Structure 1
Amino acid sequence: MSDDKSPNNSEREGGSSDKPGFFGNAFNSGRDRAREAEKTAAEIGEAIPGAGEGVWEEDEESVSGDVSAYVRSLEAGRDPWHPRQTAHGALDVMQGFLGPHLSNFQATADRQRKVNEDPKSTSGMASSTVKSSTEEEDFREAAKIRDEDQPQMSEEMQRKLNRAQYQTEGALLVASGMVGHAVGVALDPAREKAYVVTDEANLYSISLTSHVKRKFVTTGSLGSPGGVALDGKGNAYVTDNRGNRLVRVDLANGNTEEVATGVQAYGVKLNESGKTAYVTGLDGKLFAVDVEKKDAKKLIVDKLGPSTSGAALDGNGKAYTGNWNHVGDLWEVDLLADPPTKRSVATLSRQSGDIALDGAGTAYVSDHWGDVLYKVDLATGAQHVAVKATGSFSALGVALDSSNGVLYVSTWEGQLWRFSLRVLQSPELIEITTGV
């Protein structure tokens, strides 16, 4: 005889087995609850006016027929853009979305229960899942782009691209917000950095590519800087005009050391070997300082005028100086003559803070009083404004990056600007807006 309660012989509604398996009760319960919810939704829809499917005849005199049909007839005459006052719209959504959704839930619950009751199916599903997971991890590992797979660009190609970009930009604000007046700038093109000093004893390093600005920490105070130069050996030389000295800064650790004293130092440039610093004094003197020896300085020339400031070297034995607080002469000093001599290249019509030479016979001179950068023809003395600004542009430090064909200018307002030498050499006037 068979037992009516045997799980092998009895069938539940819907033709499914009573065998619960590991999660059979959970699946059966979920299916049954979904079915009950669907049934309840249908009953609610039938009981609430406006949810029925009847048709209302306009000549009926009373609401004795299908109430839902009557409500729908009222709604049909309303402006479709006006919000409805009855609930049947929401019920339509419930029946149109939730009903099928609950039916799908029942079917899914049945399928999951059957899979659970079949050990082979369950085992296969788990095995398939593990296999799929392992294959996915293998695929992800194989698809990874490693550093050695990344597209590579040589340093030389990167420099060429930077040069092309710099030369076509015309004018660009590289950095701002430096504390104090940015009185001097020096360049390290090989490392694509600029070093800027301010008159509040701050030294900044600035990336010429990312424009990231970092305040340099030194072990000793820089006093009241006027200029900065690099020797190409990891050292910066900073003038301290109030302290009457030249200071060396080790860029690796920030250590400072006095190189020369007794000089009202303002402007500074180093020769190509990095062994001799040419320093201008605010008292109208030009000194040569042997930076490899302690306090080894030599007076080159004097009587260059009050507030002698910027110094520039042409690489052929000549130096040029200006006067940052007075209108005076642009001086050329022959360093190879014995004794050294000076001559006036031009009687300037403007102030002259710092000077850079383009190697093609033109000097670029900053005028922080007139808010311009101007150029002087060294052969004729002719002077023309090259850059002027809307806003303040009190140009102070000037440095040329000849390898990339650009000129950098630091300003009283604590900014660093970059200008295309190609544009500067043209007759065009560069006009900028500084934002200050």
Structure 2
Amino acid sequence: MSDDTGPNTGEREDGSSGKTGFFGNIFNSGKGRAGEAERAAAAMGEAIPGAGEGVWDEDEECVAGDVSAYVHSLEAGRDPWCPRQTAHGALDVMQGFLSPHLSNFQATADHQRKANEDPKSTAGMASSTMKSSTEEENFRKAAKIRDEDQPRMSEDMQRHLNRAQYQTEGAVLVASGMVGHAVGVALDPAGEKAYVVTDSGKLYSVSRTNHVKREFVTTGNLGSPGGVALDGKGKAYVTDNSGNRLVRVDLANGNTEEVATGVRAYGVKLGDGGKTAYVTGLDGKLFAVDVEKKDAKKLIVDQLGSSTSGAALDGNGKAYTGNWNHVGNLWEVDLRADPPSKRSVATLSRQSCDVALDGAGTAYVSDHWGDVLYKVDLATGAQHVAVKATGSFSALGLALDSSNGVLYVSTWEGQLWRFSLRVLQTPELIEITTGV
């Protein structure tokens, strides 16, 4: 026989139907707990001596009933903003504050229980919640920015912004802390990297945008490099003056191989679309090396002076060379002549290591002894200091980034600097502090 007064059916003492379900039980439980708390507060007020409702007789100045009436009269005369010092005042505050809230809590719980028992109300709340959730999800999907919707900047615009940034910076220390003396530098325009070699046999890649420096690991020993050049096809060519050879490095895997031997190689530049390496020797010679053939080298000119070092190509069939350890000539070599010929552009007043051409008739020459970078007018041979430093600035390798209008300089101190070509071309002197 069924019992209609089970846990979820039947009439309750509070007038509810009893068919409350899960949420109804929660509301009934909360209401009951609030009622118990209210009754406990009232019982505590009655049980504590001096907390009752005694009457104070003004004429007799005595208490009729509980002594608390006298205490209440004292409390009534106090400033309400002053701290209460009696337990009776604290009880008054407690009962005056808690009792209404506990009563309100019971009423609210009862109201929520009845709303829960109403199927229409419950369905409405659920429908509203689901609708709100669905609308929010739809909004998120509609407001989401896809990768293809992201604003894009053309490569031309990015190059323009880079150029504008580089030209306004003047002088920037790009990287430091390279092991050994940073004797040579070459640029990879496509990868936005500079590659630097040191005379301790290290090859570094340096990001030209965020200046991150990484040591490049090669499978073979690079010996004692003097210069580096890139073919734009993933290969680097490094001179090893201690091993009298030219070495090729695969930048994809670090594999190395000898391209030419028997050359006191120091400076190197690539021409003919990367097919020919023009290599200077410390014995005053300039060679052309066919990099597509094994050990295919040809002497172009000699007697360029002892310690011939840096080399530069103007793209119009002429090469320029400097000297590593001696005051000597800045030579111009006509590669198209038969036989190739040379002429002295200027007698350099300082030692020179590497040479770079700006395409506007000026050669930039590094002076590692004088701690300066100077420029030479190719037409007149006039020389002017372009950069000097507070601290050591033993300029060695040079590489020109004509697309961004900047010149990169590697130094004896293991640093890589970048200079605005626009500033270099003015009569103004650039003064830097190197920190070393």
TM-score by structure 1 length? Answer: 0.82
2:347 is the counterpart of 1:347 = yes
What corresponds to 2:61 in structure 1? none
Task: Give the direction of change, closer, same or farther, for the CA distance of 1:73–1:230 in structure 2 (3 Å limit).
Answer: same
- Please say if residues 196 and 228 of structure 1, whose CA atoms lie closer than 8 Å, have aligned partners that are also in contact: yes
Q: Give the C-alpha shift of residue 123 in structure 1.
A: 3.0
Paired residue for 2:313?
313
Q: Secondary structure at the match of 2:350?
A: strand
Match of 2:202 in 1: 202
1:374 to 2:352 alignment: no
For residues 266 and 175 of structure 1, what CA distance do their matches in structure 2 show? Answer: 23
Question: Does 2:280 match 1:290?
Answer: no
Give the match for residue 431 of structure 2.
431
1:96 Cα shift? Answer: 11
Distance in 2 (CA, whole Å) between partners of 1:381 and 1:92 is 103
**What's the counterpart of residue 211 of structure 1?**
211
**Where do residues 21-32 of structure 1 align in structure 2 (5 Å cutoff)?**
21-32=21-32
Separation in 2 of the partners of 1:264 and 1:293?
19
Contact 1:22 1:117 in 2 (8 A): no
Aligned residues: 411
Q: CA deviation at 1:113?
A: 2.4
1:46-98 C-alpha deviation (Å, 9 max, x unpaired): 99x9xxxxxxxxxxxxxx7559749966986x9xxxxx999999999999998
Amino acid at match of 1:30: G
Aligned 8 A contact 1:11 1:17 in 2: no
Answer whether contact 2:334 2:342 (CA < 8 A) is retained: yes
Show the counterpart of 2:385: 385
The superposition leaves residues 267-318 of structure 1 with CA deviations (integer Å, 9 ceiling, x where unpaired) of 1011142111111112222111111111111122222223221111112222
What is the one-letter code of the residue matched to 1:267? Answer: G
Q: Distance in 1 between matches of 2:77 and 2:416?
A: 76
Counterpart contact for 1:398–1:407, Cα < 8 Å: yes
Task: Give the deviation of 1:102 after TM superposition.
Answer: 6.4
CA RMSD of aligned residues (A): 3.7
Name the counterpart of 1:274: 274
Q: Name the counterpart of 1:137.
A: 137
Letter in 1 for 2:412: W
Sort the Cα spacing of 1:21 and 1:431 in 2 relative to 1 into closer, same or farther, 3 A. same
Equivalent pair of 2:75/2:89 in contact (CA under 8 Å): no
Alignment match, 1:220: 220
Question: 1:341 Cα shift?
Answer: 2.5
| Partner residue, 1:126 | 126
Gap change, CA 1:100 and 1:229, over 3 Å in 2 = farther
The change in CA–CA distance for 1:300 and 1:22 in structure 2 (over 3 A counts) is same
Partners of 1:345 and 1:272 lie apart in 2 by 24
Cα distance change, pair 232–74 in 1 and its aligned pair in 2 (3 A): closer
Structure 2: distance between partners of 1:249 and 1:138 = 55
Q: Does the aligned pair in 2 maintain the 1:285–1:301 contact within 8 Å?
A: yes
TM-score, reference length from structure 2? 0.82
CA change 1:321–1:120 in 2 (3 A) is same
- For 1:93 and 1:176, the matched residues in 2 are separated by 72
Shift of 1:377: 1.5
Aligned-partner Cα distance in 2 for 1:115–1:220: 82
Aligned-pair distance for 1:18?
5.5
Instruction: Identify which range, 380-389 or 424-433, moves more after superposition.
Output: 380-389
Identical amino acids, percent of aligned pairs: 84
- Measure the CA separation in 1 of the matches of 2:416 and 2:88: 70
Change (3 A) 1:75 1:142: closer
Aligned to 2:363: 363
Matched, 1:114 2:114: yes
- 1:365 positional shift: 1.2
Is 1:265 aligned to residue 270 of structure 2? no
Which range moved further: 261-270 or 85-94? 85-94
396 and 124 in structure 1: CA distance in 2 versus 1, 3 angstrom threshold = same
Q: Does 1:303 align with 2:303?
A: yes
Please identify the structure whose Cα radius of gyration is greater. Answer: 2
Question: What residue is the counterpart of 2:180 in the other structure?
Answer: 180
Q: Is the 8 A contact 2:280 2:309 kept in 1?
A: yes
Aligned residues of 2:203 and 2:215 also touching (Cα < 8 A): yes
Matched residue, 2:170: 170
Please list every run of 5 or more consecutive structure 1 residues that lacks an aligned counterpart in the other structure: 50-63, 79-83
Paired with 1:126 and 1:315, the residues of 2 have a C-alpha distance of 78
SS of residue in 2 equivalent to 1:316: coil
Moved more, 204-213 or 307-316: 204-213
CA distance in 2, matches of 1:102, 1:224: 88
Answer yes or no: is the 8 Å Cα contact 2:322–2:330 preserved in 1: yes
Task: Summarize deviations over 1:299-345 as a string: whole Å, max 9, x none.
Answer: 22222223221111112222111122233222222222333232222
User: Which structure 2 residue ranges, 5 or more long, are not aligned?
Assistant: 51-69
- What is the match of residue 415 of structure 1? 415
Contact 1:225 1:266 (C-alpha < 8 Å) held by counterparts = yes
Q: CA deviation at 1:101?
A: 7.4
CA contact (8 A) 2:71 2:88 kept: no
Distance in 2 (CA, whole Å) between partners of 1:397 and 1:352 is 10
